[in-house]
Amino acid sequence: MALRYFEDFPEGYSQDLGTFRLSADEIMAFARQYDPQPMHVDPEAGRASVYGSLIASGWHTAASFMRLLVDGVLGDSASMGSPGIENLRWLKPVRPDEPLRARFAVIESRTSNSRPDWGIVRSRGEVVNQDDEVVMRLEAVNFFGRRPHG
């Protein structure tokens, strides 16, 4: 696949990033390392919580989205990194083995004033469950190299 540049991500561009699911073992393994709260590491505590079951750490959902974004978008592009994320929202619990899909949509695309060889892409990323509910949403800013001339 040809390398994609800033010019390949205009406002309105969107892309399906594919599907994933998190098993109970994966949820607990991530959480033991990074977010060892009871509802993420202990199925019994999850059942007793307001969430009613073991649920994934929101950071696990975010990192899993990132993996699909790299596989589908950033990995074959002139990606130059990201200064950050706005409005990372965990809207619904993510439960073991539920099928999830991710999508990416460009909401703003402009060239950089400080680095004319870079462009700045603002995007909305979403993770959706089988009931078509958005379980996670974020707005990201990514830098991309501009397509070389000639």
User: From CA 129, how far away is CA 90, in angstroms rounded?
Assistant: 12
**Least distance between a second copy and beta carbon 6 (Å):** 15
Interacting residues with a second copy (CB under 8 A): 33-37, 39, 50-51, 57-59, 62-64, 66-67, 70, 74-75, 79-91
90 vs 104 by CB, closer to a second copy: 90
66 vs 107 by CB, closer to a second copy: 66
Helix axes 24-34, 58-72, angle to 10 degrees: 110
2 vs 50 by CB, closer to a second copy: 50
**Least distance between a second copy and beta carbon 80 (Å):** 7
**Least distance between a second copy and beta carbon 16 (Å):** 19
**Least distance between a second copy and beta carbon 141 (Å):** 10
User: From CA 145, how far away is CA 128, in angstroms rounded?
Assistant: 30
124 is written with which tokens?
């909305």
Compute CA distances 64 → 32, 50, 124, whole Å. 16, 24, 15
12 vs 77 by CB, closer to a second copy: 77
Residues 6+ apart with CB under 8 A from 77: 3, 4, 5, 8, 9, 144
